[in-house]
Amino acid sequence: MLRDLKSLQRAAVVAIVSAAPMMLAAAEQATITEASIDWTSAEAAATQTAAQEEAVTSAFLALPASAEPTALPVMLFGEAANLSAPGFVSQGSAYAAYYAQGDIQISISGSKSVVQAKDALTLHHEPAAWENIGTGADYSLAQFGAYYTLRITCDEPTTDTRCTQPEYLSGLAEHLFVVKGQANAM
């Protein structure tokens, strides 16, 4: 048995060592690109919706995590989206807001950077604004120079049209607003 274990260990080491050049080559083909944020537009958008979205903004600012610096405009769903108050996590150059709504879960993730893959890393297909992910769907967009993904997961992902058709997420995207958008406050 010890001999079998040593053979397995050797095989694992050989597999890792032989895969290293391929992993290194793949890593060289992908780059992380930092966005240049258009703070003027983000601040203008935040000012424009401040009175209309005062309740959502106040609820967000009451969350302890909302005080964390975030290097991109934080966008949430406005009152017209008719969602519960979100949970929120900031990671400096990225954030996630998440909503639990009975039989669906919705999240918004924003990032100041994006991974740009070369041809060898695009193994599946070209990304689209709306994409089915099996348990739900993603809707991606760029705003103010930052990158955002809306994600919905459903308890019934194959039959719930909110997860199988793009209209629900694209409609929710129309209710996004900048809740935190001052360059000097980030």
Ranges in the chain, pLDDT < 50: 1-26, 125, 185-186
Backbone angles phi, psi at 43, to 5 degrees: -65, -40
**How far apart are the C-alpha atoms of 167 and 133, rounded to whole Å?**
15
90-114 pLDDT per residue, tens: 888 899 999 988 899 999 999 988 7
Residue 17 is predicted with a pLDDT of: 39
The token pair at 119 is 């041809």
Closest CA to 161 of 140, 141, 139, 136: 136
* 14-16-21 Cα angle (round to 5): 105
Q: Do the beta carbons of residue 146 and residue 37 sit within 8 Å?
A: yes
H or E, element range at 111? strand 104-111
The token pair at 1 is 């048995």
DSSP tag of 23:
H
Residue 125 is predicted with a pLDDT of: 47
Closest CA to 164 of 140, 141, 133: 133
**How far apart are the C-alpha atoms of 88 and 80, rounded to whole Å?**
19
DSSP tag of 86:
P
Residue 176 is predicted with a pLDDT of: 92
Please give the C-alpha separations between residue 55 and each of 60, 85, 105, 150, 152, in angstroms, as whole numbers: 9, 10, 21, 22, 24
| Bridge partners of residue 115, in order along the sequence | 32
Residue 127 is predicted with a pLDDT of: 54
| Bridge partners of residue 100, in order along the sequence | 105
